[in-house]
């Protein structure tokens, strides 16, 4: 009998995938990447004009033996239509037969795996005693970033800056209910948010540098720059930092490094290595407490596929989702 394909909605996935699970899955996928146990072609961009595009992100992992494709779109004008500006669908296949095991929402998984990847990097690169976090940007990704970091560090204080008036205050009020032991501080300026923190997370779609300097010893998770032309950090800050990336080519062409590299303001040979290489001991990360470390996150397909594979297992065990016979 032909097997069935499982359909998992965003609501289904929220019952199947916790942030703790995502942290574990993402960490192992980083290590697999460093050991050469994955196949992950570069992102394919399908540009449609008006700042809209599709991105195809395929990947195969030898362990746990899974492959798939995330198809994600960015349509900024969707706000006027009452639709999300970013949407994604994830397809998971059996690598032995090619059979489609599941089709699922990719938007929520992207949010969770992005936060998990940043927290795994911070755990490897930030000072172990880190307690103070700065969030430059408090949009849709910020709460997941905070949750992942709170599971990885004993946070005491979170400083928040938002681009819109009152945005940081609203975010802080909302997060206090979820993290009552953390002191939340809305900031009026980026400089105030970025100064005197242990971990700085940049989460904006900016196309010009926002952060010019940080204190010695700060670890930076650069999350917002995920496509050519985007930039959140001043090039001089990159030169002062130990730069670690999730995937070298993506970082150079679409991550925080893309603009400085294009303009000759940063030599990509200065990249220390990937976070997977740091995790398996092939590269050194932080060497002393006063170093500035930087993780350039572009989002890699192996995380989507690995987490999607884990979601299928959880859904089967809990009998969640709709099953379909496509063929």
- Residue 325 has φ and ψ, to the nearest 5°, of -105, 105
Residue 109, number of CB atoms within 10 A of its CB: 26
What is the residue-wise DSSP string for 97-145? T--EEEEEE-HHHHHHHHHHHHHHHHHHHS-TT--EEEEE--STTHHHH
Strands (E), 155-202: 157-161, 183-186, 199-202
- Tell me if 88 sits within 8 A of 104, measured CB to CB: no
Catalytic residue among 31, 70, 111, 230: 70
What is the rounded distance in angstroms from the CA atom of residue 29 to the CA atom of residue 120? 11
Task: Verify whether residue 159 is a known catalytic residue.
Answer: no
What is the rounded distance in angstroms from the CA atom of residue 145 to the CA atom of residue 222? 12
The one-character DSSP state at 229 is T
What is the rounded distance in angstroms from the CA atom of residue 236 to the CA atom of residue 259? 13
Which residues lie below 8 Å from residue 165, measured CB to CB, with a gap of 6+? none
What is the rounded distance in angstroms from the CA atom of residue 19 to the CA atom of residue 131? 20
- Provide the b/e sequence for 49-66 (b: ≥16 CB within 10 Å): eeeeebbebbbbbeeeeb
In the three-class reduction of DSSP (H, G, I as helix; E, B as strand; rest coil), residue 293 is classed as strand
Q: Token pair of 50, please? A: 């008006």
The residues carrying an active-site annotation are 70
């Amino acid at each position: 009998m032909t097997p069935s394909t499982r359909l998992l909605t965003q609501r289904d996935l929220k019952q199947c995938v916790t942030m703790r699970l995502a942290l574990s899955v993402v960490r192992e996928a980083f290590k697999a990447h460093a050991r050469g146990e994955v196949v992950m072609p570069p992102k394919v961009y399908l540009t449609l004009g008006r700042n809209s595009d599709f991105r195809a992100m395929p990947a195969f992992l030898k362990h746990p033996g899974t492959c798939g494709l995330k198809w994600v779109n960015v349509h900024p004008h969707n706000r006027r239509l009452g639709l999300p500006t970013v949407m994604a669908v994830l397809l998971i296949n059996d690598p032995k037969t090619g059979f489609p095991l599941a089709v699922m929402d990719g938007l929520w998984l992207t949010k969770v795996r992005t936060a998990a990847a940043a927290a795994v990097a911070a755990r490897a690169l930030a000072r172990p005693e880190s307690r103070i976090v700065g969030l430059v940007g408090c949009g849709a990704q910020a709460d997941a970033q905070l949750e992942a970091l709170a599971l990885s560090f004993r946070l005491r204080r979170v400083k928040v800056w938002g681009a819109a008036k009152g945005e940081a205050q609203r975010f802080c009020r909302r997060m206090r209910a979820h993290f009552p032991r953390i002191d939340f501080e809305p900031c009026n300026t980026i400089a105030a948010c970025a100064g005197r923190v242990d971990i700085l997370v940049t989460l904006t779609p900016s196309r010009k540098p926002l952060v010019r300097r940080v204190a010695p010893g700060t670890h930076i998770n650069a999350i917002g720059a995920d496509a050519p032309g985007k930039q959140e950090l001043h090039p001089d800050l990159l030169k002062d930092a130990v730069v670690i990336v999730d995937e070298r080519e993506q970082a150079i062409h679409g991550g925080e490094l893309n603009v400085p590299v294009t303009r000759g303001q940063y030599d990509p040979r200065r990249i220390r290595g990937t976070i997977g290489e740091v995790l398996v001991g092939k590269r050194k990360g932080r060497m002393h407490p006063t170093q500035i470390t930087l993780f350039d996150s572009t989002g890699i397909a192996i995380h989507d596929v690995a987490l999607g594979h884990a979601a299928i297992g959880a859904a089967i065990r809990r009998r969640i989702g709709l099953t379909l016979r496509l063929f």
